[in-house]
Structure 1
């Protein structure tokens, strides 16, 4: 894990929601505050990005649709310069769905990607998972 800059956005997500956190620590200390909970909206009317295999369940389609919504939210924030650094922590499925939807500007700001399911974890557990390991 790299050093997480002060003010960096940490997005902890799974297929059903995301938590937007901000690092208020300094130096090597990661201290998080929760800024927002991002929930899926209007899943039935929006649908996922790209083509989906016909054997996907409605729950899988809803998760893919939320991944698209989250990517759109992050892209809009990056283009408005709302954050300079981003850490994205999500389960493998969600990461795989979000990654190709991220705008180049969003990807440039990504300092770390964490393949872990931490959406329901307490802040202390997320902070431990983000500590530098060098």
Structure 2
């Protein structure tokens, strides 16, 4: 089994967010694009890495942290509303590091897999290949 039928696949980086859902079966998944939610980027962003990072613009780090916080708030809300029973998160390593500390306990319970990889903008076929790797 790769991913169960109905699994939501959330793909994120510091500025983008994509949703796919498995409309196929467990053995032969088919990932279809989902409507994108409007994220609340003005909520409270909390990052574990507030210090200055050499070679990285601090303003862009704040934007990335706000985006990551908005993504995880949305995912937590969907899980708590029982609209997501199975979840896969694919995110750039930095974004995944921003997301993890904010996972609700129920999100952790439905999380089937995490992949630390840049996959924003990739096709469903490419995403499935990354999940099979």
2:45 maps to 1:21 = no
- SS of the residue corresponding to residue 5 of structure 2 reads coil
Partner of residue 78, structure 1:
79
Kindly tell me the number of residue pairs found equivalent between the two proteins: 129
Q: Larger % of strand: which?
A: 1
Which structure 2 residue ranges, 5 or more long, are not aligned? none
Conserved? CA contact 1:19–1:38, under 8 Å: no
1:3 — aligned with what? 2
State the TM-score, normalizing by the size of structure 2: 0.86
Query: Per-residue CA shift, 1:78-110, capped at 9, x if unaligned?
Result: 111001100000011000000010100011000
1:53-64 → structure 2 map (5 Å cutoff) = 53-55=50-52, 57-64=58-65
| SS of aligned partner of 2:83 | coil
Q: Is the 8 A contact 2:65 2:98 kept in 1?
A: yes
2:46 corresponding residue in structure 1: 49
Give deviations 1:26-84, integer Å, cap 9, x for gaps: 13112100113356654xx5452156524251111111111111110011001110011
Give the structure-1-normalised TM-score.
Answer: 0.86
Q: Which runs of 5+ in 1 are unaligned?
A: none
